[in-house]
A and B are shown apart, each in its own frame.
Chain A
Amino acid sequence: MPTVKDESDARGGAQPPVTAGLLRIVDRRGDPPGRGAVNRERFIRRFKDDIKRAADEEFGKRSITDVGRGGRISIPGRGLAEPRLRHDEETGSRDFILPGNREYLPGDSISRPRGGGESGADGEEAGSGEGSDSFAFVLSREEFLSLFFDDLELPNLERTRFGEMSMERMRRGGYSREGLPSNLLPSMTVRMGIARRIALRGAIAENIEELEREIEDAEGQEQAALLEEIERLRARREALPFLEDVDRRYRARVPTAAPATRAVMLCLMDVSGSMDERKKDLAKRFFALLYLFLERKYGHVEVVFVRHTETAEEVDEERFFNDPQTGGTLVYPALELALRIIRTRFAGPDWNVYIAQASDGDCTTEDGHKSAAFVSQELLPLVRYFAYIDIPSSSGWFNRASDLWQSYDAIEGPAFARRAVHDRSDIWPVFRELFARKQAA
């Protein structure tokens, strides 16, 4: 496939063409992509509702690790037709020509094709999309995700925006008379020098004029003294220093509030014996979705995995999901470990901390109460959002809320949310519900 052009040949081609000005080959391959993207976006904007519905459906069919990828979408073709005025083929009479006659003689008749899809040479596909089935196309990853998260909003984003949970950043702001040499602004300094000299020269000139008026009335020694004074002033006026300390100007930096932009997501999961593969899979889906969502908002998201049985430990993703453990369940140590991790590694106002906890809800009453208290007193003040996903056992003959769920009844606050997930199809609705953009309260 000819793609790379050879340097020597390109030069060879630069000889003067046979007919001057007749030939130009312009290589446009490097041009930035332009219009295509604009028109594409127009299309998506116009059919957003249809496309979103299709994207949601598509999501239901997909495995969550593929959610982030773009993909084929097909939407109903009805709104897409660009209508044109047509003749009704069932009326009137017309003659037309067809090619490829194999056997017919004048006077023969041919049965008329059904559906009116036939066309003479008028090259008009009947209906051109009118009432046609569906329109399929491929969405890019970006487009897919932006549709996907379209009406979702990060919880408490408002607070961040108005500075309450924000960090301070130094920003350029005006000039100052003091500062580090590296921040000196030479042009500004010289300009201040010019201004100072103009101002002083004017003041001195006024003095001189006044003295000259006095000379006219004065006599003898007095006059000589005045003349001397005038000379002194003139000399001073000429000798005004080019730059003085007061002229110096520096770039000033002022502290301003800026939203925190770094994010960390802590995944807490119970990996005790009662958490089977199905439950872990559901948890994983939820975590993956949250990750995608945060990544889109923040660009880069740190992920920390904490698993617990009776004890808690931080592990990598592989072991988090795939390393089976046995043992009982204590939630409290995991929460404690999470707090330790936040304090040591993600402290400070520039971190947005999100915690997602997944569990089947088995725990002792004492552990549950302790945990709930810990969450509301220690963790909630530090995090942006704490989401608890309850994955009850599928053997649903006892249809009551889990122990941990009951314990967590005690927690209150806008940063805390919990939902129960029973099935794969619940994940997306629950996620949407948790992160749906709140109407202005």
Chain B
Amino acid sequence: MAATDSDSDSAKQRPWPKLLTKPTVPMPRPGLVRRAEPIATGTEWTLGTLEKFDRAIAAHAAKLGLDTYPIQYELITANQMLDLCSTVGMPIHYAHWSFGKQLLSQEHGYRKGMTGLAYEIVINTNPAIAYLMETNTLALQVLVMAHAGYGHNAFFKSNYLFRQFTQADAILDYLQFARSFVQECEEQHGWREVEAILDCCHALAPYGVDRYRRPARLSVKRERARLNERLRFAERHYNPNFAHLHLNDGAGSGTEAATTFDPQENLLYFIEKHAPKLHAWQRELVRIVRKVSQYFYPQRLTKVANEGAATFWHYTLLNELYDAGEVDDGFMLEWLSNHGDVVAQPAFDSRSFNGMNPYALGFSIFRDIRRICEEPTDEDRQWFPSLAGSSWQEAIQFAMSNFKDDSLIEQYLSPKVMRDMRLFMMHDGEEDREHYLVRAIHNEAGYTKVRQTLAAQYRSEAYLPTIVVARANDDAERALLLQHRVENGRMLETHSAETILGYIKQLWKFDVVLEEVDGEGRRLKIHRT
């Protein structure tokens, strides 16, 4: 489609630099004078060489001021990697069919050669656990070590969200507890019952997080104690004649709550505490899913920042290795080719386009921070006055520590990156459902708009419709009223809303209503089960 000359000004200065589908990566210069012999060459590796490489990377990381948890590498087979991928990367998890589905589809894809395996998984624990797959070549192993073992690890340790929201040292113990609890429940109450509850909770898992409040520390001991207390209470106070009075688990009576009801955003928490008819063990299952969801919450908010930082660090660290002469040209070419695939960003009209690639975007941003610090242009001085010419290590550390995806983009997406990736902003409005309108491109007039729009796109409200509990238990019907605040006229998709309501109803057991209201509180639409 030809561009229309609607804006003669911008047409004159068509800013079309070369379109980069991969961020610029300088290739190693052959013939560089070596300070040392390579640690190893070729593709073969042994535990010994891996340890030597780890020591070399650690030395460079320390020199660059990278702060990490201790690292534990685990060497695993491809099958074990498949297992891990199926349970969101956790080595322990409770059993659920959805993990089996994940496993079967991945396995099928892998065996058919349609998909490669994720070759890096790192777990935010203390010590951090990074997985090395045995079929990787030497260069790939070292790449994974630098990426996961140092990059992600440092990000986990420094980023405020992870510091605030997750307890790196407690999650595996908690999952162990969760697994045995789910198993006990299955033995006592039958797998169908347990699976039904877990299905509901999984569907609601995105709504099981506290977004602003720091969650209590996970502690298996305390969880057990609390659980026992809950079960004991139920037992001690069980009287068939009055059982219905205790089902509410100590929640205040409905009428009094109604007058002072604050909207609750943590739906699963609300259900755990206030659902009228759940048994103690069912509440506990809700709690487990909620806790796990909470653990993964920061990961959902920091895809770009996390992957960007990790990619930036493996790139930097491996180049340091090369500059020190510890790896040879073949090694560099091998991992760079791999790196290039990882950070490729297909254009929007390309067949392989599947949304923004967080690796590409994040890597470009972090690399550009370093460039701005080291070789600032006039444009950079204007856009990032405090960044230009400062210490890049400190700047990177600051960017890793204090931002999530949307704020990172809002703060650091530079005009150069927008130009390199040729980002442009589209508008999809009610006035024309046949076309998208181009609102801004990578030029002076557009930089700010593009940056703000991209940042907004990474706010969770953009892809996950928010719902809050607006009222509950305020009459004999015990209905639960949920609210979705409609922004920019974006309504909920009816089928998905009804499905989700069905799940909520299974837990709540009484009527559940979801209303969509606009900014003034007018009701636009109502979904019922």
Q: How far is the CB of A276 from chain B (nearest CB, A)?
A: 40
CB within 8 Å for A35 and B433 given contacts A121-B355, A124-B463: no
Q: How far is the CB of B252 from chain A (nearest CB, A)?
A: 29
Chain B 348-374 interface 0/1 with A at a Cβ cutoff of 8 Å (1 = within)? 111001111010010000000000000
Contact A123 B355 (CB under 8 A): yes
- A61 CB within 8 Å of chain B: no
> Which one, A19-27, A329-337, A338-346, is touching chain B?
A19-27
Contact B19 A137 (CB under 8 A): no
Contact A99 B428 (CB under 8 A): no
Q: How far is the CB of A135 from chain B (nearest CB, A)?
A: 7
A18: contacting residue among B55, B102, B136, B206, CB under 8 A: B55
CB within 8 Å for A110 and B426 given contacts A39-B99, A92-B491: yes
Task: Give the nearest-CB partner of B77 in chain A.
Answer: A29
- A88 CB within 8 Å of chain B: yes
Contact A5 B203 (CB under 8 A): no
Task: Give the nearest-CB partner of A40 in chain B.
Answer: B100
- B441 CB within 8 Å of chain A: yes
Contact A107 B4 (CB under 8 A): yes
Q: How far is the CB of A105 from chain B (nearest CB, A)?
A: 5
Chain B 8-42 interface 0/1 with A at a Cβ cutoff of 8 Å (1 = within)? 00110010000101000000000000000000000
Chain A interface SS verdict (over half):
loop
- Number of chain B residues whose Cβ lies closer than 8 Å to a Cβ of chain A: 131
Contact B488 A94 (CB under 8 A): yes
Bound together, the chains give a CA A124 to CA B206 distance in angstroms of 14
Chain A 8-25 interface 0/1 with B at a Cβ cutoff of 8 Å (1 = within)? 111111000111011111
- B45 CB within 8 Å of chain A: yes
CB within 8 Å for A96 and B425 given contacts A35-B95, A119-B355: yes
* Chain B neighbourhood of A13, CB < 8 A: 46-52
Bound together, the chains give a CA A111 to CA B349 distance in angstroms of 12
Q: How far is the CB of B153 from chain A (nearest CB, A)?
A: 11
Contact B453 A105 (CB under 8 A): no
Contact B99 A84 (CB under 8 A): no
Contact B496 A93 (CB under 8 A): no
Bound together, the chains give a CA A85 to CA B208 distance in angstroms of 14
Contact A86 B492 (CB under 8 A): yes
* Chain A neighbourhood of B476, CB < 8 A: none
Contact A122 B424 (CB under 8 A): no
B499: contacting residue among A80, A83, A106, CB under 8 A: A83
* Chain B neighbourhood of A150, CB < 8 A: none
* Chain A neighbourhood of B465, CB < 8 A: 85-87
Bound together, the chains give a CA A9 to CA B45 distance in angstroms of 10
Contact B70 A22 (CB under 8 A): yes
Contact A36 B347 (CB under 8 A): no
Contact B345 A100 (CB under 8 A): yes
Bound together, the chains give a CA A23 to CA B72 distance in angstroms of 6
> Which one, B104-112, B216-224, B285-293, is touching chain A?
B104-112
Give chain A interface residues in 177-212, CB to chain B under 8 Å. Answer: none
* Chain A neighbourhood of B488, CB < 8 A: 92-94
Bound together, the chains give a CA A19 to CA B62 distance in angstroms of 10
Q: How far is the CB of B108 from chain A (nearest CB, A)?
A: 5
* Chain A neighbourhood of B59, CB < 8 A: 18
CB within 8 Å for A137 and B427 given contacts A25-B47, A100-B347: no
Contact A105 B423 (CB under 8 A): no
B356: contacting residue among A28, A44, A97, CB under 8 A: A97
CB contacts between A and B, total, < 8 Å: 347
* Chain B neighbourhood of A123, CB < 8 A: 303, 354-356, 358, 463
Q: How far is the CB of B299 from chain A (nearest CB, A)?
A: 13
Bound together, the chains give a CA A104 to CA B453 distance in angstroms of 17
Contact A122 B457 (CB under 8 A): yes
Task: Give the nearest-CB partner of A100 in chain B.
Answer: B347
- A159 CB within 8 Å of chain B: no
Contact B430 A92 (CB under 8 A): yes
- A136 CB within 8 Å of chain B: yes
* Chain A neighbourhood of B72, CB < 8 A: 24-26
Contact A94 B441 (CB under 8 A): no
> Which one, B157-165, B392-400, B442-450, is touching chain A?
B442-450
> Which one, B81-89, B228-236, B310-318, is touching chain A?
B81-89
Task: Give the nearest-CB partner of A38 in chain B.
Answer: B95
Q: How far is the CB of A242 from chain B (nearest CB, A)?
A: 50
Q: How far is the CB of B458 from chain A (nearest CB, A)?
A: 7
Contact A22 B428 (CB under 8 A): no
CB within 8 Å for A106 and B100 given contacts A6-B48, A35-B83: no
Contact B356 A46 (CB under 8 A): no
Contact A138 B107 (CB under 8 A): yes
CB within 8 Å for A40 and B104 given contacts A9-B48, A119-B355: yes
Bound together, the chains give a CA A98 to CA B350 distance in angstroms of 12
Bound together, the chains give a CA A269 to CA B96 distance in angstroms of 49
Task: Give the nearest-CB partner of B104 in chain A.
Answer: A137
Contact B438 A39 (CB under 8 A): no
Bound together, the chains give a CA A135 to CA B310 distance in angstroms of 33
Contact A19 B58 (CB under 8 A): yes
Q: How far is the CB of B82 from chain A (nearest CB, A)?
A: 7
Bound together, the chains give a CA A120 to CA B432 distance in angstroms of 18
Contact A110 B75 (CB under 8 A): no
Q: Chain A CB within 10 Å — which of B82, B428, B435 has the most?
A: B428
B101: contacting residue among A10, A72, A80, A100, CB under 8 A: A80
B46: contacting residue among A10, A26, A102, A104, CB under 8 A: A10
CB within 8 Å for A108 and B438 given contacts A3-B134, A100-B346: yes
Contact A109 B73 (CB under 8 A): no
CB within 8 Å for A36 and B82 given contacts A83-B203, A105-B3, A108-B3: yes
Contact A2 B134 (CB under 8 A): yes
Contact A95 B439 (CB under 8 A): yes
Task: Give the nearest-CB partner of B207 in chain A.
Answer: A85
- B342 CB within 8 Å of chain A: no
- B497 CB within 8 Å of chain A: yes
- B44 CB within 8 Å of chain A: yes
Contact B195 A109 (CB under 8 A): no
Task: Give the nearest-CB partner of A34 in chain B.
Answer: B83
Give chain A interface residues in 307-356, CB to chain B under 8 Å. Answer: none
Q: How far is the CB of B288 from chain A (nearest CB, A)?
A: 16
CB within 8 Å for A29 and B80 given contacts A2-B138, A106-B445: yes
* Chain A neighbourhood of B132, CB < 8 A: 25
Q: How far is the CB of B1 from chain A (nearest CB, A)?
A: 7
- B280 CB within 8 Å of chain A: no
Q: How far is the CB of B89 from chain A (nearest CB, A)?
A: 12
- B422 CB within 8 Å of chain A: yes
* Chain B neighbourhood of A24, CB < 8 A: 70-73, 127
Bound together, the chains give a CA A1 to CA B497 distance in angstroms of 50
Contact A2 B436 (CB under 8 A): no
* Chain A neighbourhood of B92, CB < 8 A: 35
- A41 CB within 8 Å of chain B: yes
Q: Chain B CB within 10 Å — which of A21, A41, A103, A130 has the most?
A: A103
Task: Give the nearest-CB partner of B346 in chain A.
Answer: A100
Bound together, the chains give a CA A94 to CA B456 distance in angstroms of 10
Give chain B interface residues in 429-480, CB to chain A under 8 Å. Answer: 429-430, 432-442, 445-446, 450, 453-454, 456-458, 462-465, 467
* Chain B neighbourhood of A217, CB < 8 A: none
- B6 CB within 8 Å of chain A: yes
Bound together, the chains give a CA A10 to CA B49 distance in angstroms of 9
User: Interface of B with A (CB < 8 Å)?
Assistant: 1-7, 10-11, 14, 19, 21, 43-52, 54-55, 58-59, 62, 70-77, 79-80, 82-83, 86-87, 92-93, 95-105, 107-108, 111, 127, 132, 134-138, 191, 195, 202-203, 206, 303, 345-350, 353-356, 358, 361, 421-430, 432-442, 445-446, 450, 453-454, 456-458, 462-465, 467, 486-497, 499-500, 503
User: Can you list 7 contacts pairing A with B, beta carbon distance less than 8 Å?
Assistant: A39-B100, A93-B488, A95-B453, A109-B437, A110-B1, A110-B438, A121-B457
Question: Told that A36-B86, A85-B493, A122-B463 touch, could you supply 9 new A-B pairs with CB distance under 8 A?
Answer: A23-B71, A23-B73, A24-B72, A31-B80, A46-B195, A93-B429, A94-B428, A100-B421, A101-B442
User: Interface of A with B (CB < 8 Å)?
Assistant: 1-3, 5-6, 8-13, 17-19, 21-29, 31, 33-36, 38-47, 72, 80, 82-112, 119-125, 130, 135-138
